[in-house]
Chain A
Amino acid sequence: MRILLADDAALLREGIAGLLAAAGHEVVAQVADADALRAEVTRLAQVGAPPDVVVTDVRMPPTGTDDGLRAAVDLRAAHPGLPVVVLSAYVAGPYLRDLLGSATTSDGGGGAVGYLLKERVGRVDDFLRSLDVVAAGGVVIDPEVLATLMGAARPATPVGAGAPASGGDAERVRRLTEREREVLALMAEGLSNTQVAERLVLSDGAVAKHVANILAKLDLPPGEDTRRVRAVLTWLRATA
């Protein structure tokens, strides 16, 4: 895979680059701030060789706030479907919502986004698998972020007038059972049915049944190949 890396901390950038190189990936460029990230993606796209995945930190120069995330959102608006993995030191729902919002601007299919906590990079296999899932158009969300979202999605929450999701998504998500939510959360971590079955100690068949129920309850008709991604996106948008 051809990967573009953006992080202002040279130590981490070099570390990730080394790790990706060791895994046989090509790091096409390393940048240290959001403006350079935008410029580099634009340049690569112009020469007809956009990166397969952009991996970017959230907090970067020039303002030292969420520049990396904003650059990612802008880039996805300019290059629809560009796979982006955002690395963050924070568990922050609004960041995730921005990223997911950027996922649906173009074709409606969305996907190709990841939101991972920085230390997840240390779990090299998981990290590389996450990059693969995102590069293939999937969605990968850090388990710890998901745990916080699950907390936010407790039954008390939707009472408020300010429930973050649009009524439709929230309403559909409310139809899910606890077990189905759990399965969906693991799907959001980028796990396959087999991996979900292992994690929940269920049979493959049971997981497949849960997944089918989830897709039905979220009004995702059969015949669409992006249904898994859209189910995850629907759920995340309702809870993020």
Chain B
Amino acid sequence: MSRTVPAASPAVLPTAPGPRPAHPRRPWLHATVVVLAELAHAAAFLPLVALGIFLLLLFPLTLPLAAELERACARMAGATAPSSRLPGHRLWPWLVSRAGQSGFWVRDLPLVVVGLVLSAPSFFIAVSGGTLSAILVALPFQVSAEDPLEVRLVAWSVEIGSPRQGWWLPILGVACFAVTAALLYVLGRLRTRLTQTLSDSSQEERLATLSAEVGHLTVGRATLVDAFDAERARIERDLHDGVQQDLVALTMGLGMTRVRVLSLAEDGQTGALREALLSDLEAAQDRAEAALRALRDTVHGIRPAILTERGLGPALHDLVGRAPLPTSVSVTGAEEHLAALSSPVATAVYFAVCEALTNAARHAGAQARATVRLDVSAEGLLAVVTDDGCGGADPTAAGSTGLAGMSQRLESVGGRLAVDSAPGAGTRLTITAPLTPPWADSTESTDSTGSTERTVGPHPASHPARTTLG
């Protein structure tokens, strides 16, 4: 009988059922399916009760599967019973987490319990009705004059001595079969209705859709940030390998020319020419060096090599050394936690602190001093940038694009920025962030995002294990 239950494996359950017609085109086929499904339930009743105790232990796993099976049956019977597993969710993670969702308790559990309770009458109707029908149909062929059959019904009784006399018995059997089927149909419809009601997960679905959308947006933003960082790295590399090298070669060429000019004889006209050449060369060399200095600052601003190569701690020390106002820095945290800091987080925090120090130098006042405190633990990262300047920074003000951008940048790696800046009391920026962005490990498992190739964790080229702290 159990072979009449299709879609036995939930892995092949249709996950996104389209709206089905409420009234199937072939009512008889539909009714047959309902009856057959009900028969399957009836057949599964005793084994289920027998297995009940064992299944009970596994019920967080078996219950959602059983509920899914019910829904699949209901869908076959034409009901609108969408799977509680949303499109794009993998079976195993969904199954494991299902018991933690409210739908498990308010839908799956009642569905399976009531379904099982409904299976009891199905079982008795199917067994008694089926047996009775079979007996009634078969009886006339069993009776003979020697072995007559007495049919007694309350006050009415008849004795059947030959198949001809019992011609009406098979008809009665068929009628009995029809009644059984009708009863099963009613029960099946009842079950289908129930399943439909208990599958109405529209709210759950909406929530899940929204969360999926938020996930998409987060991943999308992360991808943008990644692309931005990759672009930074590319520009930095291009400048370093290209323009910077060319300028260095230029200064070297100028230096060599200078040496040659110096070796020229110093007499008469040559002497004057020599002096002029030397001063021209000096000027050219100065300009080339100035260009290199400017380029070096630009390259450093794009992506400091020290951040890529040594990690956040040394990069912050380095940053403070260049800060436009007197700044002190302290970095605390175990090596392993600093090493666990992923590149996107380190980059976001570095540029946030950089921006904070620039802001402090610009707005806090000439006498201001700043402090940078970085604390990295297993739970995450806490960076506090304070200055003792005039305060009054307002991240919600229309003009404060820097603070807003900083905040967004941090949010893209799962971090937060809090600004505490009462007028006259200095400014305190508190940055919190996880060691690795939240999208770092979820992107691998969610295939719905379409980006499974993201590399996360420390930059491949970085070796933060060598980070040295004061």
Question: Which residues of A approach B to under 8 Å, CB–CB?
Answer: 9, 11-12, 15-16, 18-19, 22, 59, 63-66, 89-95, 97, 117-119, 121-124, 127, 144, 148-149, 151-152, 154-165
Contacts and interface: CB of A to CB of B under 8 A. Distances in A.
A163 B317 CA distance: 9
Interface stretch (B204-212, B242-250, B439-447): B242-250
B321 A162 contact: no
Contacts of B244: 89, 118
Contact of A59 (B240, B320, B330, B463): B240
A66 B251 contact: no
B326 A157 contact: yes
A64 B309 CA distance: 10
Nearest to A150: B321
Contact of A164 (B310, B317, B326, B373): B317
Interface of B: 237, 240-241, 244-245, 247-256, 258-259, 285, 288-289, 292-293, 296, 299-300, 305-306, 308-310, 313-314, 317-318, 320-323, 326-332, 369-373, 461-463, 468-470
Main secondary structure on B side of the interface with A: helix
Contacts of B288: 119, 122
A162 B470 contact: yes
Contact of A161 (B255, B292, B327, B330): B330
A9 B240 CA distance: 11
Nearest to A122: B251
Nearest to A23: B259
Contacts of A22: 256, 259
Contacts of B326: 154-157
Contacts of A63: 461
Given A66-B309, A89-B296, A165-B470, A160 B330 contact: yes
B309 A162 contact: no
A197 B80 CA distance: 94
A85 to B, nearest CB: 15
Nearest to A166: B470
Contacts of A159: 328, 371
- Considering residues A11, A151, A162, which has the most beta carbons from chain B within 10 angstroms of its beta carbon? A162
B240 A89 contact: yes
A203 B291 CA distance: 35
Contact of A18 (B237, B256, B328): B256
B305 A124 contact: no
B314 to A, nearest CB: 4
Given A89-B240, A94-B310, A11 B320 contact: no
A163 B470 contact: yes
Contacts of B317: 93-94, 152, 162, 164
B320 A121 contact: no
A162 B329 contact: yes
Contacts of B253: 15, 122
B329 A160 contact: yes
Given A89-B244, A92-B305, A162-B330, A119 B320 contact: no
Contacts of A93: 314, 317-318, 321
Contacts of A162: 313, 317, 329-332, 469-470
Nearest to A69: B309
B321 A148 contact: yes
Given A65-B309, A124-B259, A162-B317, A119 B248 contact: yes
A163 B251 CA distance: 36
B470 A122 contact: no
A122 B289 contact: yes
A127 B251 CA distance: 12
Q: In the complex, which of the residues B247, B321, B331, B332 has the most CB atoms of chain A within 10 Å of its own CB atom?
A: B321
Given A122-B250, A156-B327, A156-B369, 6 more contacts: A9-B241, A19-B259, A121-B255, A122-B288, A152-B317, A157-B321
Contacts of A118: 244, 248
B251 A121 contact: yes
26 contacts: A15-B253, A19-B252, A63-B461, A64-B461, A65-B461, A89-B240, A89-B248, A89-B296, A93-B314, A93-B317, A94-B468, A117-B296, A121-B251, A122-B254, A124-B256, A148-B321, A151-B322, A152-B317, A156-B328, A157-B321, A157-B326, A162-B313, A162-B317, A162-B329, A164-B317, A165-B470
Which of B249, B372, B469 has the most chain A CB atoms closer than 10 A to its own CB?
B249
B469 A19 contact: no
Contacts of B245: 9, 11-12
- Nearest 7 Cβ contacts at the A-B interface: A152-B321, A122-B251, A156-B326, A122-B255, A160-B328, A162-B330, A160-B330
Contacts of B251: 119, 121-122
